Amino acid sequence: MADDGLNEIIGDLYPYRSTSTTYRRVPAEPVDRAAILTEITGMAHGEDERGDKGTVSGSLYCGDHDHYRFLGEVFDLYSHANVLQRDMYPSATKFEGEIIAMTSDLLHGTGKGVITGGGSESLITALYSYREHARKTRGVTRPNVVKPVTAHVALDKGAHWLGIEMRRSPLTDDYLADVGAMAEMVDDQTIAVIGSAANYAHGLIDPIEEIAELAQSRGIGMHVDGCLGGWLLPWVERLGYELPLWDFRVPGVTSISADTHKYGYALKGSSVLLYRDNELRQQQYFAFPDWPGGLYLSPGFAGSRSGGIIASTWAALLATGESGFLAAADGIMRTATTIRDGIRDGIPELEVIGEPVFLIAFKAAGDLDIYLVNDALIAQGWRMNPLQLPAALHFCITRPNTEPGLAEAFLDALRGAVEYARQHKGEPARSGAVYGFGGTPQGNALVESVMVRLLDAMHDTAPEAPAS
């Protein structure tokens, strides 16, 4: 990517530098609280506006601001509470235990689980538990994990941090995990295999029963990444939609992650990691009796945690209830079905990937540039998630996308975007510029350097204004 293009993207990270003071040190005197609230309210309302229109894929899972205000009230009561101090805040044990119990009941588990700060933490924690269990019970010293290439990249991050080799298996022609290829990668140092329900890229449920059978036959663990679908698929099944088995009803599934901050309609960041047995759960615990500061015990990576998240997650599940979850799932599935069938039956230039449930991924059926399609959708106010390998887009349907007429409006916009791409064939797509370097090792190295620069920018203050 040219420096000009990268600088433009970096510049987009700082939209407030011309309208708001950039603080590079603590102000000498306290800033008026009313002024702070006025400024931050403007930011929040402006940034929520796009999501509230229902034109954004994923991101906002609930969209009900009355629900958010209620959760904010609950959070406020416990925002200052440190759940490490259970003698001070025994309610945390009630909230945490009941969240785990409700999630376990939904997924036919045994009630053994933990709360984490999000899907990535759940996945990385699971890897740690499997590594420790294999080290202690089998003497594994060079651990590896086998996953389909579509399984979430947080697993790759966790493997990188934990010194685990990640073996990535190819997909079948219908974009599902190739269990035969996975079997060939398993050896005596494999600690677990992975499947998704559903995966982030294409919204597909891997053949969990087959992967779990492989795990059982080799005496290893099997984790199901249900971070995306874990709090939606059970309700979809109850509505009568036919789904493959993927939860603890499948023998050989030994752990599942499910994010409550997605389709559980809780505040960010909360996720549940469930284990089939307590022995595996205990692998993630840390206990140290010899510290001068006292007996130290911790269930996971985090130390101090705000009670606000746990309390508001508990409140979100109770306030939604079975009827609320079922109603939300019904709207999501009606919208997803309309969009899926509308693309398949009415837009021959595009191809729906696999057999999706609630997240619809689609690619070009011919030589159309799907990123040009995305450019046109962006110009019309739609925000999709761009994919690569293959180049595609996906629309993850959430509650804000279920408003009457929105699915039809999207299909109309998509048809117009396809026509735009046809008319501008051969022109470079702005939204696909980064992905265009992904085909060669040199390109990938370039993309990685660009990504590192973007991460730096995300953690820096706005650049100084040029001297006049």
SS (H, E, C) 361-398: EEEECCCCCHHHHHHHHHHCCCECEEECCCCEEEEECC
Q: State which amino acid sits at residue 206.
A: D
Domains of the chain as residue ranges with CATH = 74-317 (3.40.640.10)
pTM, whole model, 2 decimals? 0.90
CA distance 284 to 275: 11
What integer pLDDT is reported at residue 172 of this predicted model? 97
CA distance 423 to 417: 10
Beta 221-225 vs 255-258: how paired, if at all?
parallel
Among residues 114, 118, 96, 102, which one has the least CA distance to residue 317?
A: 102
What integer pLDDT is reported at residue 2 of this predicted model? 53
What integer pLDDT is reported at residue 465 of this predicted model? 58
Which stretches of the chain score pLDDT less than 50? 1, 433-443, 445-446, 467-468
What integer pLDDT is reported at residue 320 of this predicted model? 98
What integer pLDDT is reported at residue 436 of this predicted model? 29
CA distance 320 to 66: 12
What is the number of alpha carbons within 13 Å of residue 399 lying toward its C-beta? 19
What integer pLDDT is reported at residue 438 of this predicted model? 25
What integer pLDDT is reported at residue 447 of this predicted model? 54
> How far is Cα of residue 338 from the mean position of the Cα atoms in its chain?
24
